[in-house]
Structure 1
Amino acid sequence: MLATLLTDWRLGLDGDADGALLPVTTDDGTRATLRLDANEHEHLALQRWRGRGAVQLLRADPSRHALLVERVGGDLADAWDVEACQTVATLYGVLHVAPMPQLRSQADLVGQRADELRRDARSVPVPRRLVDQALALARDLTADPPTAVLHGDLHFGQVRRGSRDGEDVWLAIAPRPVNGDPHSELEPMLRHRFDEYAAPWAAGSVRDGIRQRFHTLVDTAGLDEDRARDWVVVRSVLHAHRVQHDRDQVTACITVAKAVQD
């Protein structure tokens, strides 16, 4: 498939692969990245954003999960929590465009995962009160119609350095787009780089670190705090159910869900 894509799209390899990402050059010398594991409907969201707040899509073959996108730089690995959260929260306002009819509804996805959690409620390694709370909140939060296209998995590693009109900018990559509620976007930012909450240079407790990220995201994006908090609980518990055999990830999910409510 790779050989066929390189031929069909007139691409030349331009370095070593990074997993399913290959640096390439086009026939006119443009430096780009060929991605071979694109998410379903990823190309639709990138087409809709047209390079505003997200990496620019150059070409797509959804049947082969292949995308050709602009070459971008490093991620937010060196950015401190508050700075990184401000950067990501600013992107929310750019990426959350009007819903697209081609995308799946967040309500359908959450409803399906909530049903699976409900069936496993007695065995999932999450306190029962949190499970019951998440199921009730999921029902209430998904009752309203979707208001925006969501990235779906926006966190530290999904934001890269790019350029627009000669200026350095931060751009989102690798969306898992759905139509839904912008308040649901925060949870990945609270769960990723979890070990840094307890790092020697971190100020305060793990709980303090989680709450600092949460409030920075809410305040910068201008979101409703209560609704954002409820979505963090829902997404944390649903994710814990999906990774229930990974003790560290489950612990992180439970800790996040509790911290935003204390």
Structure 2
Amino acid sequence: MTDLHDIAPSIPPEFREVVQGRPPEPELGGDDWLRLLPRWARECADHWGLRADGPVWHGVCAVVIPCHRDGEQVVLKLSWPHEEARQEHLALQYWAGRGAVRLHAADPARWALLLEPLQHDRNLNDLALLDACEVIGGLMRRLDRPASPQFTRLSDAIDRWTTLCRKGSPLVPRRMTEQAASALSSLRDGCDGRLVHQDLHFENVLAGDREPWLAIDPKPVSGEWAFAVAPVLWNRWDEAARAHSLRTHLRLRAGVVAEAAGLDEDRVLAWSFVRLVTNALWEAEEPQPGQPELSRWITAAKAMTD
């Protein structure tokens, strides 16, 4: 059983290894955050009256602790401070449990959220692929609403991505980077204004008790939902790699999501291509680019255009 007043021994070693040594993004590096984590957990426990109910589990950037308070089952999520998580609590407040995990309370200073419990061992990887794509499209419809001014705008990133594509890389085909830069110019109009979960993929949808499936871990942006389909293409990649025709396979995924969400499929394909190319360019900028990852981004981007 986890002790919220001394969680340090309960933090999974594999999570420590992922976070240790991370540079600040923008506030705390991984090592500093790991040192602060036990104190923040104690303070959250005292402030919200929490008692741990089970062992710590984790995602990529957060630890999650099952708890209860006054007989109510809740979950305490403590995230490593990084820019993509800064507005997570605001998005969950706007959605108010409609299509997403319900937020009970937030402590932004400690990057802490108090959430409803979900079945963390059941996600959309448990469904057949196209059924899972249809669920994601349906959630996009449910989550869609106007974005308030405090959310980062998708258009603000377009200039950065255009510069990235114009600069290019010897490791990424020039034809692709030029095409992505051109696509970004045409996508600018109408790309802002909706509250979008830009990382809505199979593992970021968990089974719930009050609803069959609920979105978690939003990285919110004021954008358009066509931008958010791309993670559906690059996750469950082993199934894509086995496809007879990668082009047909990925476009079928995109088409099912687009139909379920009511999106323009041409914009879905254009945004997906852009995101795959920029992923390839970011990978190429790494000191030691991962060849399998780079190859995957380039191969998938090519399938969006052939």
TM-score, normalised via structure 2 length? 0.78
Post-superposition offset of 1:148: 0.7
Query: Which residue, 250, 254, 266 being the options, matches 1:210?
Result: 250
**1:15 matched to which residue of 2?**
54
**1:251 matched to which residue of 2?**
295
1:102 and 2:140 are equivalent in the alignment: no
CA contact (8 A) 1:41 1:177 kept: yes
RMSD: 1.7
**1:132 matched to which residue of 2?**
178
**2:207 matched to which residue of 1?**
161
**Kindly tell me: are residues 147 and 22 of structure 1, through their superposed partners in 2, closer, same or farther at Cα, counting changes over 3 Å?**
closer
1:6 and 2:45 are equivalent in the alignment: yes
Structure 1 residue matching 2:57: 3-state secondary structure? coil
Query: Which residue, 83, 101, 124 being the options, matches 1:55?
Result: 101
1:180 and 2:219 are equivalent in the alignment: no
- Higher relative contact order at CA 8 Å, sep ≥6: structure 1 or structure 2? 1
CA contact (8 A) 2:55 2:66 kept: no
Post-superposition offset of 1:242: 2.0
CA distance in 2, matches of 1:144, 1:76: 30
Segments of structure 1 that go 5 or more residues without pairing to the other structure are none
Query: Which residue, 69, 72, 75 being the options, matches 1:30?
Result: 72
**2:113 matched to which residue of 1?**
67
Letter in 1 for 2:237: F
CA contact (8 A) 1:57 1:68 kept: yes
**Cα distance per residue 1:63-114 (max 9 Å; x no partner):** 2211111111121121111000000000111112112111010111232233
**Kindly tell me: are residues 11 and 185 of structure 1, through their superposed partners in 2, closer, same or farther at Cα, counting changes over 3 Å?**
same
Letter in 2 for 1:115: T
Letter in 1 for 2:248: D
**1:115 matched to which residue of 2?**
163
CA distance in 2, matches of 1:22, 1:231: 32
Letter in 1 for 2:228: E
1:76 and 2:124 are equivalent in the alignment: yes
CA distance in 1, matches of 2:254, 2:110: 37
CA contact (8 A) 1:147 1:182 kept: no
CA contact (8 A) 2:50 2:69 kept: yes
**Cα distance per residue 1:224-258 (max 9 Å; x no partner):** 12111111111111122222322222222222222
CA distance in 2, matches of 1:49, 1:106: 19
1:240 and 2:280 are equivalent in the alignment: yes
CA distance in 2, matches of 1:70, 1:34: 9
Q: Equivalent pairs: percent with the same residue?
A: 36
**1:91 matched to which residue of 2?**
139
Misfit runs of 4+, over 6 Å: none
Structure 1 residue matching 2:250: 3-state secondary structure? helix
Q: 104-113 or 229-238: which moved more?
A: 104-113
**Kindly tell me: are residues 5 and 97 of structure 1, through their superposed partners in 2, closer, same or farther at Cα, counting changes over 3 Å?**
same
Q: 67-76 or 27-36: which moved more?
A: 27-36
Post-superposition offset of 1:145: 5.3
Letter in 2 for 1:219: E
Post-superposition offset of 1:12: 1.1
Post-superposition offset of 1:151: 0.2
Structure 1 residue matching 2:150: 3-state secondary structure? coil
Letter in 2 for 1:9: W
CA distance in 2, matches of 1:219, 1:255: 24
CA distance in 2, matches of 1:17, 1:169: 24
Post-superposition offset of 1:181: 1.5
Post-superposition offset of 1:219: 1.9
Q: 222-231 or 14-23: which moved more?
A: 14-23
CA distance in 2, matches of 1:111, 1:32: 41
CA contact (8 A) 1:110 1:138 kept: yes
